[in-house]
Amino acid sequence: MILKDKVVLVTGGTGSFGKKFVEIILKEYSPKTVRIYSRGEALQDEMKQDFNDERLRFLIGDVRDRDRLYRAVEGVDVVVHAAALKQIPVCEYNPIEAVNTNIGGSINLIDAVIDRGVTKVLAISTDKAVHPVNLYGATKLVAEKLFVQANTYRGGQGTKFSCVRYGNVIGSRGSIVPLFLKQKERGEITITDEHMTRFWISLEQGVRFVISCLEGMHGGEIFIPKIPSMKVIDIADTIAPEAKKKIIGLRPGEKMHEVLLTEEESSHAIEFNTKFVVVPEFPFWTESTPNIGGKPVENVRYASDNNTRWLTKEELRNMIENET
């Protein structure tokens, strides 16, 4: 196993994804140590008490801090990069801060892991990076490009970089599920548009997909899980069937539907039963693409509105119960 007896660092490790990732790898994958790199001492202290595991190390730091990152990745084997500014309105109101964290922080991490000889780095991306309509999505698009092409800097040797791109996570901070649960108490739920759709994945599913990608990555791939879609209004009906639904219209920076794989990307993508893998379009660091199996795809748009797999209300209830 890729994580057995390894030193693992998780940036943004006190977030929803980071906590679930740490929980699973400590229980099932026997890492030597896990370093949590984040800015908030209160969240770190809370996580330390919750886990009470001597394999955990808590490092206060910001991905903007290049020197601190160099110290943090010393002796690390695997990095999962989950740190980012993610709230769309926050990024729009603080655009330079979003760029400094999501793009500048990625550059700092890339330099640090190459110079310190980290084996594998997997960056967590989002469907918002595809045809972005807001600054958050644009910064994540740039981050994807940086991590894929960072393989060029190591020249086929040393650190391998890849990305995982997936949709909305049920139960995570900023998800509409906690919002709807809160609005349910007031008896009215706000819906942007009754036709809006989104991809959905649970925290545990996301973590296990990331671990599988760490196991199989060659460097330069963008891994996309095949996950179900659901209309936002159906989510509201599932959570609060008796509540009044108020249609408020699309908010600034929102899409009606999200896309995980574009037609252009599909020309250099490979399809498997459970995922798509976008292989690098400009693999300057290698003469040939590794044979990773699967079948070629072409002219495919994998979007939340044309999905062949839809989440049922019962499945959503089960996911909410497990994640909240």
In this prediction, residue 174 carries a pLDDT of 67
In this prediction, residue 293 carries a pLDDT of 82
3-class DSSP assignment, residue 154 = helix
Determine the Cα–Cα distance for residues 245 and 233; give it in Å rounded to an integer.
Answer: 8
Domain membership of residue 139 (yes or no) is yes
Count structural domains, the chain: 1
CB neighbours of 269 closer than 8 A, spacing ≥ 6? Answer: 261, 276, 277, 278, 279, 296, 297, 300
pLDDT tens digits for range 211-241: 999 999 999 999 999 999 999 999 999 988 8
Please name the helix (run of DSSP H) or strand (run of DSSP E) that holds residue 43, with its range, or none. Answer: helix 41-51
3-class DSSP assignment, residue 94 = coil
Distances (CA, A) of 2 to 8, 24, 31, 83, 216: 10, 14, 9, 22, 9
128 is an active site residue: yes
Domain membership of residue 297 (yes or no) is yes
Which phi and psi (to 5°) does residue 184 adopt?
A: -55, -35
Of 19, 86, 120, 128, which residue is the catalytic one? Answer: 128
Domain membership of residue 183 (yes or no) is no
Distances (CA, A) of 197 to 120, 183, 201, 254: 34, 20, 13, 11
Q: Looking at residue 294, which CATH number applies to its domain?
A: 3.40.50.720
Which phi and psi (to 5°) does residue 275 adopt?
A: -160, 165
Determine the Cα–Cα distance for residues 16 and 171; give it in Å rounded to an integer.
Answer: 8
In this prediction, residue 124 carries a pLDDT of 98
Domain membership of residue 187 (yes or no) is no
Residue 109, classified by CB atoms within 10 Å of its CB into exposed (0-12), middle (13-18) or buried (19+), is buried
Domain membership of residue 233 (yes or no) is no
Domain membership of residue 131 (yes or no) is yes
Domain membership of residue 324 (yes or no) is no
CB neighbours of 255 closer than 8 A, spacing ≥ 6? Answer: 133
In this prediction, residue 143 carries a pLDDT of 98
Strand arrangement of the beta sheet that strand 78-81 belongs to: 56-60, 33-38, 7-11, 78-81, 120-126, 160-166, 222-225, 275-278, 269-271, 295-297
pLDDT tens digits for range 75-130: 999 999 999 999 999 999 999 999 999 999 999 999 999 999 999 999 999 999 99
* Of residues 193, 162, 139, 143, the one with CA closest to residue 304: 193
pLDDT one digit per residue (tens) for the chain, 324 residues: 789 999 999 999 999 999 999 999 999 999 999 999 999 999 999 999 999 999 999 999 999 999 999 999 999 999 999 999 999 999 999 999 999 999 999 999 999 999 999 999 999 999 999 999 999 999 999 999 999 999 999 876 789 999 999 988 987 776 788 888 888 888 898 888 889 999 999 999 999 999 999 999 999 999 999 999 999 999 999 988 888 988 988 888 889 999 999 999 999 999 999 999 999 999 898 877 776 788 999 899 999 999 999 999 998 888 888 775
* Upper half-sphere CA count for residue 110 (Cβ side, 13 Å): 22
Domain membership of residue 117 (yes or no) is yes
Longest CA–CA span in the chain (Å) reads 60
Q: Which domain holds residue 98?
A: 7-167+201-226+259-302
